[in-house]
Each structure stands twice: as C-alpha cells, then as structure tokens.
Amino acid sequence: MIRRAFCIGAVLVSGLSIPAATAARPPLAAAAQIKEVTAAEAAPFLGDWTLNLQGPNGPGTFAVSLKAEKEKVSGEISSDQLPKNPITSISMAGKSLVLGYSFTWEGNAVEAVVTLTPAEEGKTTAQIDFAGGAYVMTGTATKKEK
C-alpha cells in the first residue's frame, strides 16, 4: 500500500513539469464538444459511485458522490490515500460526464479529470487523468444502490 502510494506520488509529481495551462485542457476536438452540465443532463450520474481503476502501478479505488440542488450539480471524490476533495468543474463531453478537481500531493498541486462514460446496458466506464496525462487510471464505475 505504501509502495503504491509512493509510486503514484512520484509519477504525479513528475507530471507537474507540464505547464498548468495545458495540464487541464482537453484536446481541441474534445474541447469543442464540452459544455456545462445541467441537473437534467447529470441525472443519470447523480448518486454515490465506486470507481475500480487500474493504473501502471496497480489498482486503485475511488469514491465519487454527485448531487443536484435546484440546477446546481456538485460533488466530491476521495480514496484511501486522499481525503475528500470537492469537484470544481462538471461538464458534458458527448455522453460522458467530465469532473475536474485538484488535490495536494507532497506539497504540490495536482489537477485531475474524471470521465464517466455510459457503456453497454447498466455499465459505466471510468478514467482518471492526473496531471495532464502524466498518470492515467481506467476501469469501471459502479453506482451504489439506495
């Protein structure tokens, strides 16, 4: 567990040399399709999710919670290594919900983007892109039943 956290930290910190302006910016083709999300568009994604992801240094599990109050969609993300962090941007890119947040790792700010994409019936894929692609984890997202 400590080895994995250290490896993830090392990769994330090494990615911080990417200029901040490009780290959080999606490719131009994707940027043209990204738009702010409404509560109605986010409705299928609202609730509590468990993301089971795999990265170059092994598996990771994240908890994502999304809610809507009136027309404002908000959320937070956490994992065993990181405390709860607020999601600071929520948008749609095609059928995917795109969540942006940042956290501090060993004194360095790290930008991250979570993408939730509906797949075959009842399935959702998930990806977290840390530090503009310096470290990427992919896998599945499972919505918790109420």
Exposure on the CB side of residue 76, measured as CA atoms within 13 A: 7
Counting as low any pLDDT under 70, the low residues of the chain are 1-34
Angle at 17 between CA 32 and CA 106, to 5 degrees: 110
What is the model's pLDDT at position 70?
85
pLDDT at 5: 43
- pLDDT at 33 (0 to 100): 54
Is the pTM higher than 0.75? The answer reads yes
Kindly report the number of other CB atoms within 10 A of residue 49's CB atom.
22
**Each residue's pLDDT tens digit, 108-128:** 999 999 999 999 877 999 999
Q: Which pLDDT score, from 0 to 100, does residue 46 have?
A: 96
DSSP reduced 3-state for 125:
strand
Looking at domain 2-18+28-143, its CATH class is mainly beta
The domain limits of the chain are: 2-18+28-143
